Structure 1
Amino acid sequence: MRLSSMADYAVVTMTAAARHCGGARVSAAQLADETGLPAPTVQKLVSRLTAAGLLRSSRGAGGGLKLARPAAAITLADIVEAVEGPIALTTCIDQERDSCSLDACCSVKPHWPVVNAAMRGALAGVSLTQLSGGAQ
């Protein structure tokens, strides 16, 4: 399994936001500067991460972005799912995209949910605090 570039960039963006946790709000432009990611990419990610409830955005003087909940309560699975949607290692796990020609005779399909749950569990076991270099 390989994360898409956008999922990878979302993790980088969230770790940068987490380093500001407890401090002043930060702008998308500031996150772009800190991460070296293109500003339009960070803006797109900020929109997705805000929609997923991982970031909170405020307008006006003193506005900007901050984590919507503590870094310890945000996991790698949360971040990946905010950008990629539900974690599904094969298309047969994702009911909306299931178009496998072997569906009717596949002996492995019943086992994929167990593998998928293990993968999601592993990602859910890594907190944003750990990713951002905070306390383990």
Structure 2
Amino acid sequence: MLRISKLTDYGTLIMTHMASAPERMMSAAELADALGLGLATVSKVLKALGRAALVVSQRGTRGGYRLSRPPAQISIADIVDALEEQPFGLTECSANSGVCTLESRCRIRDSWLRINAVVRNALQTVSIAEMTPAPLATQLLEHIPVTGEQGVPGPDRLARQPG
């Protein structure tokens, strides 16, 4: 089964939460509380994201973490690269050349490399901005019909309806 690690999943969750207020500093404790994750786990993930220059940190009473660049400029591939222990690859040979003894005569390696490239491209083209849930107020407003839209009577038609 193709699967990202739990830390990468948590990293994506943390980054999308931070993307909802990208300019705001958030403490590790605040993130842990908001997301229901352990503080030690959040701290570990933030440290790795900082090493990868995806977040910046500031010490002090007003300190915390914030995104290093706009959410639309941070891809899911960036997070995977920061948190996965090995280079991205669906198979051993698609991540590291020369590790398989069958590589020189393998008939399916080229297909795996192609599949790997497609998955990698998908991760690169999806930003955390696209994965960030809209604020609750926006979600609620999206479900309220606009006057006059799709058969909903506008003010001029309401006045003319028989009562």
Match of 2:7 in 1: 6
CA separation in 2, counterparts of 1:8 and 1:110?
Answer: 29
Pair 1:133 & 2:140 matched? no
User: Take 2:106 and 2:22, find their aligned partners in 1: how far apart are those partners?
Assistant: 47
Deviating above 3 A after TM superposition, structure 1's stretches of 4 or more consecutive aligned residues are none
Q: Summarize deviations over 1:13-69 as a string: whole Å, max 9, x none.
A: 1111112213x3100111110111111110000000011111001112321100000
Q: Where do 1:1-136 residues align within 5 Å?
A: 1-22=2-23, 24-84=24-84, 85-95=86-96, 99-134=99-134
Structure 2: which amino acid aligns with 1:76?
I
Residue identity (%) = 39
Give the counterpart letter for 1:82 in structure 2. Answer: A
CA distance in structure 1 between the partners assigned to 2:79 and 2:88 by the alignment: 11
Q: Distance in 2 between matches of 1:86 and 1:48?
A: 15
Q: Which structure exhibits the higher relative contact order, with contacts defined as CA atoms closer than 8 Å and separated by 6 or more residues?
A: 1
Structure 1 unaligned regions, length at least 5: none
Give distance in 2, aligned partners of 1:13 and 1:113.
30
Q: Which has the larger radius of gyration?
A: 2
Deviation at 1:4, TM superposition (A): 1.2
Aligned residues: 133
Q: TM-score, normalised by structure 1?
A: 0.88
Q: How far is 1:75 from its partner?
A: 0.9
**Pairwise CA RMSD:** 1.8
- What is the deviation of 1:100? 2.7
| Deviation (angstroms), 1:89 | 0.8
Distance in 1 separating the partners of 2:87 and 2:121? 13
Once structures 1 and 2 are overlaid, which stretch shifts more, 43-52 or 13-22? 13-22
The normalised TM-score by structure 2 is: 0.75
Q: Deviation of residue 94 (structure 1)?
A: 2.3
Verify the 8 A CA contact 1:20 1:26 in the aligned structure 2.
Answer: no
